[in-house]
Amino acid sequence: MQSAGTHALVGEPVTPQTAVIAEQLGVEIGSFRARQLETAQIRQADLVLALDRTHRAAVVELVPQAVRKTFTLRELARFLPLVTPEREARPDQRWRSAVALAQRQRRPPTDDPGSVDVVDPFRQSDEVYRQMVGQLVPAVDALLVWEARAGRPQR
């Protein structure tokens, strides 16, 4: 797993607000430094997660063939529960299959197109950071729940 941005401030650490939030959530940031997304990373990835539709579009613009494996985090969290996991597969194989099957479930949101985005809190108020956490955490949880269920032996 790798992290890189479409408009990264290369070499910069996370913001102090992000560091506090990560600590509260028990996420180890360590010596994280921002990196710029490169086409080789996209080509090598089985799954590319963006936090909003503009970032997703930037990924697909760099590598058009990545359209089927590039989702916003919240978009994948919405589609993944509709995908039946390959329980006997190794996790890497299961996720490759899940990406292909989730792609088939892809539909534009009928309510609010922004409902698939995570707000970017950079240089925003603490309230926007809280909004980001409220969007990000449930989406990550949905992916973790799917994998936990998929990895459990069937009875």
**What residues contact residue 75 under an 8 Å CB cut-off, 6+ apart?**
56, 106, 116
How many residues make up the chain in this entry? 155
Domain of residue 47 covers 16-151
4 part of a folded domain: no
1 part of a folded domain: no
Distance CA 121, CA 129 (A): 5
Distance CA 151, CA 94 (A): 9
pLDDT reading at 71 higher than 90: yes
Whole-Å CA distances, 144 to 5, 8, 16, 107, 148: 23, 26, 26, 22, 6
Q: What is the mean pLDDT of residues 22-37?
A: 92
81 part of a folded domain: yes
86 part of a folded domain: yes
How many independent structural domains does the chain possess?
Answer: 1
10 part of a folded domain: no
**Weakest-pLDDT range from 10-19, 42-51, 105-114, 125-134:** 105-114
84 part of a folded domain: yes
57 part of a folded domain: yes
The three state secondary structure string of the chain is CCCCECCCCCCCCCCHHHHHHHHHHCCCCCCCCCCECCHHHHHHCCCEEECCHHHHHHHHHHCHHHHHHEEEHHHHHHHHHHCCCCCCCCHHHHHHHHHHHHHHHCCCCCCCHHHHCCCCCCCCCHHHHHHHHHHHHHHHHHHHHHHHHHHCCCC
Q: What is the pLDDT of residue 56?
A: 96
How confident is the model over 112-149, as pLDDT tens digits?
Answer: 778 999 999 998 999 999 999 999 999 999 999 999 98
The answer to whether the beta carbons of residues 110 and 128 sit under 8 Å apart is no
- The rounded mean pLDDT for the chain is 91
* pLDDT tier for residue 33 given thresholds of 50, 70 and 90: very high
Tell me, what CATH number does 64's domain have? Answer: 3.40.50.2300
Q: What is the pLDDT of residue 153?
A: 63
Q: What is the pLDDT of residue 150?
A: 86
- Residue 120 token pair: 């970017």
